[in-house]
Amino acid sequence: MAFPKNVTVFNHPLINHKIAILRNEATGMKEFRELVEEITTLMAFESLKDIPTTEVDVKTPLELCRQTVVQEKSVVVVPVLRAGLGMVNGIHTLLPTAKVGHIGLYRNEETLEPCEYYCKLPEGIEKKTVIVLDPMLATGGSAVAAINMLKARGCKKIKQMSIIAAPIGVETLAKAHPDVQIYVATVDRQLNENGYILPGLGDAGDRLFGTK
Ligand code: PRP
Ligand code: URA
């Protein structure tokens, strides 16, 4: 499958190994939550490789040297409620002081159109690199809507991180927002008639929070 150049599909053996456990219907809530965090951290190494850095002096036991460090506060993460919340700790493991904005969207079960119900973003977000977090990219409607909301607030540098995507979701998002870097761990076969990803992992929000 060839996608536009703003799309990165990881297909990494170590990440795929964890996704195999994530998909398994027998995997319980605790393990599911831990895996979502771990996969997010692994994906962050690639997704954040262009994060702004600065140089500092460090005194080693042997001598003084210059060393690059990341500008942690240059990044804001924005989980899409609910399931995106499961990915936040995966980024905070690497960038503990990154601020968090929240966008609440749910899909209308009939039309699959995203409905906005919440938006609270840190002040000054328009000057930051914004990472939108949502483990599932299905029709792409929620991601397109979330990024529309961020652009309406003046955000210019936006990245999307998702774990499992459907081909149509990747195409729709890449077309709607060609300036946004899209990172997905894996791309599945298709959507079913209810907009669920096949083979997928079921409902990510329900599996993270035990609501079904
Ligand atoms: C899920 C998922 C995404 C959205 C993806 O959320 O977490 O936000 O569906 O689907 P799309 O690409 O077709 O828009 P859902 O609407 O089920 O809400 P929830 O996380 O609160 O359960
Ligand atoms: N949201 C989910 O949680 N799972 C899917 O397969 C599609 C959308």
Q: What is residue 66's predicted lDDT score, i.e. its pLDDT? A: 98
Task: State mean pLDDT over 107-118.
Answer: 93
Task: Tell me, in angstroms, the distance from the centre of ligand 2 to residue 19's CA.
Answer: 15
154-171 pLDDT per residue, tens: 999 999 999 999 999 999
Q: What is residue 148's predicted lDDT score, i.e. its pLDDT? A: 98
- Rounded to the nearest 5°, which phi and psi values hold at 39? -65, -40
134 is catalytic: no
> Model confidence at 5, in pLDDT bands (50, 70, 90)?
very high
23-51 pLDDT per residue, tens: 999 999 999 999 999 999 999 999 999 99
- Rounded to the nearest 5°, which phi and psi values hold at 185? -70, -40
Question: Which is the closest atom of ligand 1 to the Cα of 204?
Answer: 7
Provide the CA 113 distance to its chain's centre, in angstroms: 20
Q: What is residue 140's predicted lDDT score, i.e. its pLDDT? A: 97
Residue with tokens 């929000």: 205
Q: What is residue 141's predicted lDDT score, i.e. its pLDDT? A: 97
CATH of 7-48+75-209, one of 3.40.50.1860, 3.30.1490.190, 3.40.50.2020, 3.30.70.20: 3.40.50.2020
Q: What is residue 139's predicted lDDT score, i.e. its pLDDT? A: 97
Nearest bound ligand to the CA of residue 83: 1
Q: What is residue 109's predicted lDDT score, i.e. its pLDDT? A: 87
Question: Which is the closest atom of ligand 1 to the Cα of 139?
Answer: 13
Q: Distance between CA 50 and CA 129 in Å, rounded?
A: 10
Does residue 1 register a pLDDT over 90? no
User: CA nearest 146: which of 170, 118, 123, 167?
Assistant: 118
Task: State mean pLDDT over 121-147.
Answer: 98
44-70 pLDDT per residue, tens: 999 999 999 999 999 999 999 999 999
C-beta 196 within 6 A of ligand 2: yes
